[in-house]
Structure 1
C-alpha cells in the first residue's frame, strides 16, 4: 500500500473531505488530491500533521511515506534490496552506540 492510498482510505473511513484536510495543512485542495494520488510528495511535517488529523499512527504513515520515496529513487529491485540492507546495518550500528 502506498502513502496516498492509506490516507485516502483513512480519510474516507472517517467521512472527511479532501478540502477539510487541505485547509488544516494550509494547502489547496488540488495539491492534497495530488498527494493522495501519489502525484506529489508530502513533506515530513505534513505527514505528521496528517497522522494527527486522521488520528492514526505516525510511524505507520512515516514508514509508508518513506517507502514511497525509496521506491521512486531506486528502480532496480536487486539494487534496492542491497541498499536497504546497507541502510539497515547502518541504522543498527548507530542504535548500538
Structure 2
C-alpha cells in the first residue's frame, strides 16, 4: 500500500518532471509539493484535485487515499479503532438520512 506522498512522487517521476515545473503548472509552491511527496505535510482537498488532474490520476482514488490517511493519522495510537470506524460509519449514514429527509 502506497502513501499519498509516494503516489504523488511516483506520478511526477513517471511524467519525468521536476518539482519546479509541476509547481508552476498546478500553482502550488514547490516546497509544499516536496513536503507532500515526503509525507511531511498533507495537501488540501483542492490541492489534491489539482494534482490528480495534472497527473491524470483518478481524483476519486486520490481523495480516498487523502481522507484515509487523515483518519489513520488521527486514530493510529487509539484503541478500539474498528469500533470507532463502525460508529462513525453509522453516524455518517444517519446524517445522510437526516439530510435526505428534510
Shift of 1:94: 4.5
The alignment's TM-score, normalised by the length of structure 2, stands at 0.80
Unaligned runs of 5+ in 1: none
Query: In the alignment, what sits opposite 2:48?
Result: 47
Query: In the alignment, what sits opposite 1:17?
Result: 18
Structure of greater Rg: 2
Describe the superposition over 1:36-93 as per-residue Cα deviations: whole angstroms up to 9, x where unpaired.
Answer: 1110110000001111001111111001111111122112364322222122223334
Unaligned runs of 5+ in 2: none
- Please, what is the CA RMSD of the aligned residues? 1.8
Shift of 1:95: 4.9
Q: Number of aligned residue pairs: give it.
A: 97
The alignment's TM-score, normalised by the length of structure 1, stands at 0.83
